[in-house]
Structure 1
Amino acid sequence: MKKSLWKYVGWQPGRPAWGAAAVAGLGCALPLLLGLFSGHPGFLWATVGAFQAAKANPLHRLGMLRMLLLIGLGAGSAGLGFWSATHPLISLGLFAFYGLLLAWLQRYGSEAGKLGIGLAICLCLGQGQHGVGDFNNPQAIAALFALGGLWVTLLAFGLRGMHGLRMWPYMPRLLSLLKVLRRRARRTPIRQWRLHAISYVLAAAIGGLIVTLADLPRGYWLTLAVFTTLQMDLQRSFVRALQASIGIFCAAAVLIYMGHSLADPPMMVMIMLPLVMLSRAFQSHHYGLFVLQTTLSFVLLAETLAQDWGLPQLRLINAAIGVGVALVVTLLMYLLRRLVTRIALRKSRHPAATDQGRDDSITP
């Protein structure tokens, strides 16, 4: 029964990474407490950067390289999202590019896809936080994001030293890494991937454009709902995609209700830190569950120090619009896929029918 439950859920349980969980907890605790006592909104970005860096396991061979990669790309994504929040065309193109980037990275395996969804989340948070506070400097946001990540990197170096590991391990050959990625990309049919990429580009671009044109507060509830719904990879069955959309909307409603009921930053910080440590200790290896787990953690961290929980309907409306956009794009791609399949079947039957007619017309 236990094995069948794990197989049904899709979770791949493993040994808990308590070292990485301690690094994530200490890394997020310092900026959260500083933001709680000072009230400065800049510490939010340091917290997000710390959690972004803590997703990598520092005890792995390439853990430190991946941590620095997450910090640099995440800081750039957050700054670009905040900068594009007042430019509709730039926001449209930027979200379309990140949707294409995410679909392209998914061709190279789940680890590359995890990198892509992390960057997309940072972009959504950067755009959605615009106008919430008086902190309106994209360069400062990227710098604070990087500082939070470097604080976690310092803790990670200490963890490696406690285990007697090299501070910076030997790097693999770049050509060998490219060969492995190319071999992994060939497993995905190119036609199926093109439809998959079109759905990502359309949904992400529409979501980013709606947030910019409507000037929605906390717009990351909309854009994150779009990316999370599309991550389920249920393009073949519209019924299952509808079930996933309903589940994601219900999860967002539960989070909004819990935040509205608490509405107390010190209490939310006390609850959030153990959740961050448990989430990092039992981080899922399954791609879809990793996306849900990471998205929920980022949203909770971004909402921990929020002072506007008296208006929960704004968050609920944003989540509903995001799920609706993803569902409409999924339906369009599903109908397009069926149309392409019917046309291919007709073309395959037409030559057979003509050849049979020619054979019947021949007389001895």
Structure 2
Amino acid sequence: MKKSFWKFIGWQPGRPAWGAAAVAGLGCALPLLLGLFSGHPGFLWATVGAFQAAKANPLHRLGMLRMLLLIGLGAGSAGLGFWSATHPLVSLGLFAFYGLLLAWLQRYGSEAGKLGIGLAICLCLGQGQYGIGDFNNPQAIAALFALGGLWVTLLAFGLRGIHGLRMWPYMPRLFSMLKVLRRRARRTPIRQWRLHALTYMLAAATSGLIVTMANLPRGYWLTLAVFTTLQLDLQRSLVRAVQAGVGIFCAAAVLIYMGHSLADPPMMVMIMLPLVMLSRAFQSNHYGLFVLQTTLSFVLLAETLAQDWELPQLRLINAAIGVGVALSATLLMVALRRLVARIALRRSRRPAETDQDSNDSIKP
């Protein structure tokens, strides 16, 4: 029986969320237009904060709580990333911690993993935007991020009021949520998860250190390529790892070519706002495709008001280095796992050979 096209590519769009799409469009439109007319780089962070908050559906039961959680943690991640851009050791440890955090959250299901990748993206954008313009205050960046998210929260409260819903719904029991998360975490073998987490930590720490040591402008093209490539669960297949790396690099090349061809902030704003609404309306439920969709949207928002599109090769080189780092970490972990499996196999053969020799010696 032939599968449908959506099942073949793994996309599960469900019903379009036009209400959430309208909130996302209006929430990103105001800071983008203010940044376009004023030229102040701070409105970029308000736009990123607005899109980060708009990922939660305000009509769901826990939508408002999730929205506030995304705003607070995202603002802290963006500020930490911007602050660590001048400290190599801090950047190394911070990216390793976020890699471990992302791997830990993935144990508890796709929704927790979506929270983790959103925080990792905010960290990458904060580090990569350092040195662009004269706006160099991490506290102000976190505050503007939170303001953009609170603007979307206000729109979300209005949407709930239009639908006649409670402004703040009843909360579920905390112990019930913990039981569900613990049950979900037990499905993943702990040994497999440790290798998975080690891969994330190694690749993320290496990418953060490279951006800081080399002082790469627009370094989020490198770090986001690492996190996006590692999302597709590549531990079992080297072929899939190479395919994912090539796919990420090609997607980055297409985006860079489009931005270099337009190189006009007003035109990019006009194109970006409908794309944000469509992306939010048809948000994928599949985890890997959600990561690709969200990462592309964040990158486009960060590059909408850019004035340095005359240097597209810099962004392309950063993306290529990021894919190379992710593939190298994956290959290293695959080789390590095979080595551990061989050692375990040799140890299991030795007792069997010893028992067989002892049985042979007992026979008359």
Normalising by structure 2, report the TM-score.
0.99
Q: Tell me the distance in 1 between the aligned counterparts of 2:271 and 2:235.
A: 36
Q: Tell me the distance in 1 between the aligned counterparts of 2:237 and 2:116.
A: 24
Q: Tell me the distance in 2 between the aligned counterparts of 1:39 and 1:133.
A: 10
SS of the residue corresponding to residue 231 of structure 1 reads helix
Q: Tell me the distance in 1 between the aligned counterparts of 2:256 and 2:85.
A: 23
Q: Deviations over 1:10-31 (max 9, x none)?
A: 1113100000000000000000
Q: Tell me the distance in 2 between the aligned counterparts of 1:293 and 1:140.
A: 28
Shift of residue 124 of structure 1? 0.2
SS of the residue corresponding to residue 244 of structure 2 reads helix
1:34 aligns with 2:31: no
Q: Tell me the distance in 2 between the aligned counterparts of 1:57 and 1:363.
A: 74
Matches for 1:1-364 after TM superposition, within 5 Å: 3-364=3-364
SS of the residue corresponding to residue 94 of structure 1 reads helix
Shift of residue 354 of structure 1? 1.3
Q: Tell me the distance in 1 between the aligned counterparts of 2:292 and 2:193.
A: 22
Q: Tell me the distance in 2 between the aligned counterparts of 1:99 and 1:13.
A: 28
**Residues 19, 2 of structure 1: CA spacing in aligned structure 2 closer, same or farther, 3 A cutoff?**
farther
Q: Tell me the distance in 2 between the aligned counterparts of 1:95 and 1:355.
A: 49
Q: Tell me the distance in 2 between the aligned counterparts of 1:14 and 1:98.
A: 30
SS of the residue corresponding to residue 101 of structure 1 reads helix
- Cα RMSD of the aligned pairs, angstroms, is 0.9
Normalising by structure 1, report the TM-score.
0.99
Q: Deviations over 1:54-91 (max 9, x none)?
A: 00000000000000000000000000000000000000
Q: Tell me the distance in 1 between the aligned counterparts of 2:3 and 2:281.
A: 21
Matched residue pairs, number?
364
Shift of residue 6 of structure 1? 2.0
Q: Deviations over 1:118-174 (max 9, x none)?
A: 000000000000001110000000000000000000000000000000000000111
Q: Tell me the distance in 1 between the aligned counterparts of 2:10 and 2:125.
A: 28
SS of the residue corresponding to residue 205 of structure 2 reads helix
Shift of residue 107 of structure 1? 0.4
Shift of residue 94 of structure 1? 0.4
Shift of residue 7 of structure 1? 2.3
Shift of residue 245 of structure 1? 0.2
Q: Tell me the distance in 1 between the aligned counterparts of 2:363 and 2:203.
A: 58
Q: Tell me the distance in 1 between the aligned counterparts of 2:227 and 2:139.
A: 25
Q: Deviations over 1:328-353 (max 9, x none)?
A: 00110010011111111112222112
Q: Tell me the distance in 2 between the aligned counterparts of 1:12 and 1:348.
A: 44
Could you tell me which runs of 5 or more consecutive residues in structure 2 were left unpaired when the two chains were aligned: none
Q: Tell me the distance in 2 between the aligned counterparts of 1:348 and 1:215.
A: 49
Shift of residue 103 of structure 1? 0.3
Q: Tell me the distance in 2 between the aligned counterparts of 1:30 and 1:188.
A: 43
Q: Deviations over 1:289-324 (max 9, x none)?
A: 000000000000000000000000110010000000
Identity of paired residues, percent?
Answer: 90
Shift of residue 2 of structure 1? 7.5
**Residues 4, 341 of structure 1: CA spacing in aligned structure 2 closer, same or farther, 3 A cutoff?**
farther
Q: Tell me the distance in 1 between the aligned counterparts of 2:358 and 2:261.
A: 76
Shift of residue 244 of structure 1? 0.6
SS of the residue corresponding to residue 301 of structure 1 reads helix
Q: Tell me the distance in 2 between the aligned counterparts of 1:314 and 1:258.
A: 15
SS of the residue corresponding to residue 144 of structure 1 reads helix
Runs of 4+ in 1 over 4 A off after TM superposition: none
Between stretches 132-141 and 341-350, larger displacement belongs to 341-350
